[in-house]
Amino acid sequence: MDDPRTAVAALLDGVAEHSGPPVPVSELCRRTGLAEAAAETAAPMVFALLSAFGALDWRQDPATGEALVAAVSPQAGYLLRSLSAYVRTEQAFLDNWERPGTADPPLTDRQALSGPQFLHLLEKRRLRTNPDAPPLRRVDVAQVVVKNRVRGRGGRAQYLMLYDGRARQYQLPGGYVRASDRDARTAAVRELEEELPGYSYVSGRDTLTELGVFPVVQISRTHGAVTAYRVALYQLRSGTERLPLAPGALWVPEETLLDPAGTVGGATLNITALLRLDRALPGGIGGLPQSMSGVQHRPLREVVRDRPWEVVGLLVGVVGLLVSLVPLLW
């Protein structure tokens, strides 16, 4: 049995077919026709990997020191048989590794077996069982606080949030610090110009004030891996009266922004670093000045979302007015 795939599949089937207490790995290899060398090297490595699935009772014989193995239950045996079938047919049970982005449950079958999504679930469990689990990646991030008054919001301070389609979350304007960026401030300027169509940072008119740098360890909603972020936060102050907004931009009130369980339109908010900033600043982010002097206009979708019945009433009134004018046109 020279083909590695055939050997691994036979090993999986052998464990699945065995019933009773754990059997020596050498005996299992003999039953499945594997060579003695495989029993000593390949088999233990395969079983060590599979033990991460929790499907194996894999232990050492106290008398002989030999490795013993068995499936922990019939259901675990079925998993091994299923994996064997995938191995034999050279078919992958996870896909879409090239496509970034994860989602919160409930998940479709397609979503659950997407590579990054499956990784996200694994990492979520790893972090839950060990809050100090070491991160798999480290990145520097620059984010910008934009605070202003918005028309129709009663003069309350609002904060600009942008929707990240891959992470399916709202977050502050900003992003990764690239190798081509001179520093985090340079990255913040670049991200503002990329994410706010029509906006250009003008020295003298615009300033970025550093508010602090905060370490955050959490699962990346884009890549699915536990990530150590170094988040540099800035506030934009601009002499321009209004900012041009992208389609995924929303003005969010402070009480929603600082709610760890807060959502906007059903989407969660990525605010871990912002919450730490709020605790670090005297008076919190509420004590920050306005970013611009002018009152910001809200996108129509925000108005409709916040005041649906008023919008419906306005539309009904307009339709009624048009209907009443029709006879006058004849």
Dist CA 234 CA 209 (whole Å): 5
pLDDT at 38 over 80: no
Whether the Cβ atoms of residue 114 and residue 94 lie closer than 8 Å to each other: yes
Domains 4-88 and 137-294 share a fold: no
Q: What are φ and ψ of residue 6, in 5° steps?
A: -60, -40
**Mean pLDDT across the chain:** 88
Query: Model-level pTM?
Result: 0.82
Domain limits of the chain?
A: 4-88, 137-294
Dist CA 221 CA 50 (whole Å): 26
Mean pLDDT of 60-71: 90
The CATH classification of domain 4-88, taken from the options 1.10.10.10, 1.10.260.40, 1.10.1660.10, 3.30.750.80: 1.10.10.10
CATH superfamily of 137-294: Nucleoside Triphosphate Pyrophosphohydrolase (3.90.79.10)
Structure tokens at 197: 């169509």
pLDDT at 317 over 80: no
Burial 70-79 (b: 16+ CB within 10 A, else e): bbeeeebbeb
Structure-token match 């008054």, residue found: 149
Residue 217 host element (H or E): strand 206-219
Whether the Cβ atoms of residue 242 and residue 153 lie closer than 8 Å to each other: no
Which of 28, 49, 52, 50 lies closest to 39 in space, CA to CA?
Answer: 28
Mean pLDDT of 61-75: 92
| Angular region, 148: left φ>0, alpha ψ -120 to 50, beta rest | beta
Least confident of 124-128, 162-166, 253-257, 296-300: 296-300
pLDDT digits (tens, 9 = 90+) for 85-101: 999 999 999 999 999 99
pLDDT digits (tens, 9 = 90+) for 249-293: 999 999 999 999 999 988 999 999 999 999 999 999 999 999 998
- Give SS3 for 231: strand
- Give SS3 for 65: coil
Which of the four pLDDT bands, split at 50, 70 and 90, describes residue 296?
low
